[in-house]
Amino acid sequence: MKTFILTTVVLIAGLLALQYYSTTVDATQYPKAKVEEKDLTGLSVATFAGGCFWCVESGFEKLPGVVEVISGYTGGTTENPTYEAVSSGTTGHTEAVQVYYDPKRIGYQTLVAALWRQIDPTDGKGQFSDRGLQYRPGIYYHDDTEREIAEQSAKELEESGHYQKPLAVEIVPFKAFYRAEEYHQDYYRKNPLRYRYYRSGSGRDRYLEKIWGDELHAKLPGVEQPAADNTTNPDQYLKPSAEEIKSRLTSLQYEVTQQEGTEPPFDNEYWDEKRQGIYVDIVTGEPLFSSRDKYRSGTGWPSFTKPISDSYIVQRTDYQLIYPRQEIRSKIGDSHLGHVFEDGPEPTGLRYCLNSAALRFVPREEMAAQGYGGLLSELE
């Protein structure tokens, strides 16, 4: 019993410390990064709020036609506010984003629809675990056309039956927007693990999955879809039946991919593989990692700094050990691949630590014949 109590105390303390570390921002932790200036000439701009701007920025930047998303503050009266001032709740501002988009590729109506799938529009006093008016949701229209679109979209959402409570999103004229400190910009890219720990703990995703179900990931109307080819379109890869998977895989491959097992270090197929090529999901063939991004980590497992594309990767928090870890799974096959850690080399600082048993290596000279010719550039 004492051992159980001690283990429980250690676990709780560790989780609390992690939650504090993940959600507390200190500007000194994140030195000002060099800003990559994008040409925003000729683009339209929209202004939205939906709670923590890290999450809202991440959501909008994934949309085709969106060129840039800036985190900042709007809706208040204080000029040039700091993060600390806004967080105090005394400025009247809320955390917000400005979305720069190409109106030929995506419309304002689609952006509003995308906002609904990121927030709780019935909560006007905060969003999820972030409480206070500095996290209130809002749509800040720049002209009457945007106002009409936003109001009509809100009316349709309220009539959709998704919510049991009335909407509480302010739809008001845009007045001013103040760019947030640089360490907030693209936070989800600069600090992916801290961001995911925060987002997982906030309750945002659990709420959205509950409200929207399968609709959450459905195609938004009016979004221009990129042209598909034989290597980058996820829809071409299919997950076999459970029976077929079991019959096709070895016992180790099955244990790793289907039962979250771990193969032994230094005694697996690809930990020391040096040839050029790509690594695909052993179950579906989804292209996952490139030899260009592989490095010798000293762990005894194949390690990479980044995936070929986020389109084929899913990250989840697992609690199999005493502390939470970020599990890596394939998107279509839902195969357990390994974990990602924040102790890797530049340029990402990440280490994707994978199981060879979850992968199949396709050498460079065989990529075209196996249908991966479009990814040869990923080896350069």
Catalytic residues: 52, 353
Residue 269 CA to residue 362 CA, distance in Å, equals 13
Other Cβ atoms closer than 10 A to 26: 7
Q: What is the CA radius of gyration of the chain?
A: 23
CB atoms within 10 A of CB 287: 25
SS3 196: helix
CA neighbours closer than 13 Å in the CB half-sphere of residue 78: 18
Report the alpha-carbon distance of residue 196 to residue 204 in Å, rounded: 11
Map residue 238 onto helix, strand or coil.
coil
Taking each continuous run of H as one helix and of E as one strand, the counts in the chain are 11, 17
Q: Is 12 exposed, middle or buried (0-12, 13-18, 19+ CB in 10 A)?
A: exposed
Q: What is the rounded CA–CA span in Å between residue 365 and residue 72? A: 48
Identity of residue 165? K
84's tokens: 């600390």
Give the bridge partners for 29, in sequence order.
Answer: none
The answer for residues whose C-beta is within 8 angstroms of residue 135's C-beta and 6 or more apart is 51, 52, 94, 95, 126, 127
Q: What is the residue-wise DSSP string for 323-364?
A: S-EEEEEETTT--EEEEEES---TTT--EEEE-GGGEEEEEH
Q: Rounded to an integer, what distance in angstroms lies between the CA atom of residue 226 and that of residue 236?
A: 14
Work out the end-to-end distance of the chain between its first and last CA atoms, rounded to an integer number of angstroms.
57
